[in-house]
């Protein structure tokens, strides 16, 4: 911390104001830590007579915030819908892909659930899967084919849903919804082609055998 930092701190508290800042400090063993620091003056007769300082080590919180920021950046780059939902079902985090399918903005989705933008039958299926994850604390995988009220889009999703924890306690679920619509359509086409080929082969064999 340079001289300007201490000058600003001293100027603030000697003027009778409270100073608050996050600082990077050094422990006695040489390691660095991040602290949330507040210094408040004790004023008597209109003049600061003493100061009270409160400092909280927030290193772990800052590291967690950094990881969450990285995770958010990764999630936003993915083309498949990803979401975190609380145990009650409301969205805590959504990415742009989910907003696009839902036809709603991030602000409209946060705090709400699937029933706000998806057909009721599929939303009920998803609710059961979420409850299963919360009760067992085990991941589940399932497929759904929802329709979306506000975007008129249709898709087939293969979903992996995991338990989501905060402070060591289960707080909801995290879902990654892989859009497999094109794959499913290709599989259907191959199935139809297979049936046609099998039918034609049987007919040709019947002709050969005079049936």
Per residue, what are the HEC states of 133-171? HHHHCCCEEEEECCEECCCCCECCEEEEEEEEEECCEEE
Mean pLDDT of the chain: 82
Confidence of residue 185 (pLDDT cuts 50, 70, 90): low
Mean pLDDT of 142-166: 90
Beta strands in the chain (DSSP E): 19-26, 32-44, 47-57, 82-86, 91-94, 140-144, 157-166, 169-179
**Run of H or E residues at 11:** helix 3-14
Q: What is the spatial distance between Cα 158 and Cα 23, in angstroms, rounded to a whole number?
A: 45
Confidence of residue 195 (pLDDT cuts 50, 70, 90): low
Confidence of residue 22 (pLDDT cuts 50, 70, 90): confident
Residue 199 or residue 64, greater confidence: 64
State the pLDDT at residue 6.
79
Do 149 and 208 reside in the same domain of the chain?
Answer: no
Q: What is the spatial distance between Cα 39 and Cα 24, in angstroms, rounded to a whole number?
A: 16
CATH number of the domain residue 125 falls in: 3.30.450.20
Mean pLDDT of 45-61: 84
Residues 6 or more apart whose CB falls under 8 angstroms from that of 35 comprise 22, 23, 24, 25, 55, 56, 57, 58
DSSP-based three-state secondary structure for 177: strand
Q: Which range, 50-54, 113-117, 181-185, is most confident?
A: 113-117
Do 144 and 111 reside in the same domain of the chain?
Answer: yes
**Among 144-153, 161-170, 182-191, the least confident range:** 182-191
pLDDT at 207 over 50: no
Q: What range does the domain containing 35 cover?
A: 3-57
CA-closest candidate to residue 58, choices 38, 73, 72: 38
User: pLDDT exceeding 70 applies to what percent of the chain?
Assistant: 79
Q: What is the spatial distance between Cα 121 and Cα 128, in angstroms, rounded to a whole number?
A: 11
Do 76 and 132 reside in the same domain of the chain?
Answer: yes
pTM assigned to the model: 0.59
Do 210 and 124 reside in the same domain of the chain?
Answer: no
Do 79 and 147 reside in the same domain of the chain?
Answer: yes
Mean pLDDT of 68-95: 82
DSSP-based three-state secondary structure for 71: helix
State the pLDDT at residue 201.
45
Mean pLDDT of 186-194: 55
Do 173 and 187 reside in the same domain of the chain?
Answer: no
Q: What are the Cα distances from residue 141, in Å, to 81, 89, 104?
A: 15, 18, 25
């Amino acid at each position: 911390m340079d001289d300007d930092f201490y000058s600003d701190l001293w100027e603030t508290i000697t003027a009778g104001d409270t100073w608050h800042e996050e600082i990077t400090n050094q422990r006695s063993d040489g390691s660095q830590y991040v602290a949330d620091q507040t210094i408040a003056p004790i004023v008597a007769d209109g003049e600061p007579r003493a100061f009270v300082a409160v400092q909280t080590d927030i290193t772990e919180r800052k590291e967690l915030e950094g990881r969450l920021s990285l995770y958010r950046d990764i999630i936003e780059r993915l083309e498949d819908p990803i979401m975190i939902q609380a145990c009650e079902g409301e969205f805590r985090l959504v990415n742009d892909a989910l907003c696009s399918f839902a036809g709603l903005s991030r602000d409209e989705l946060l705090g709400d659930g699937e029933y706000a933008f998806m057909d009721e039958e599929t939303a009920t299926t998803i609710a059961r899967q979420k409850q299963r994850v919360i009760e067992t604390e085990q991941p589940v995988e399932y497929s759904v084919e929802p329709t979306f009220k506000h975007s008129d889009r249709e898709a087939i999703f293969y979903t992996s849903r995991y338990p989501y924890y905060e402070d060591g306690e289960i707080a909801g679920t995290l879902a990654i919804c892989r859009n497999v619509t094109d794959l499913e359509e290709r599989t259907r086409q191959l199935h139809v082609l297979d049936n046609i080929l099998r039918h034609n082969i049987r007919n040709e064999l019947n002709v050969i055998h005079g049936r």
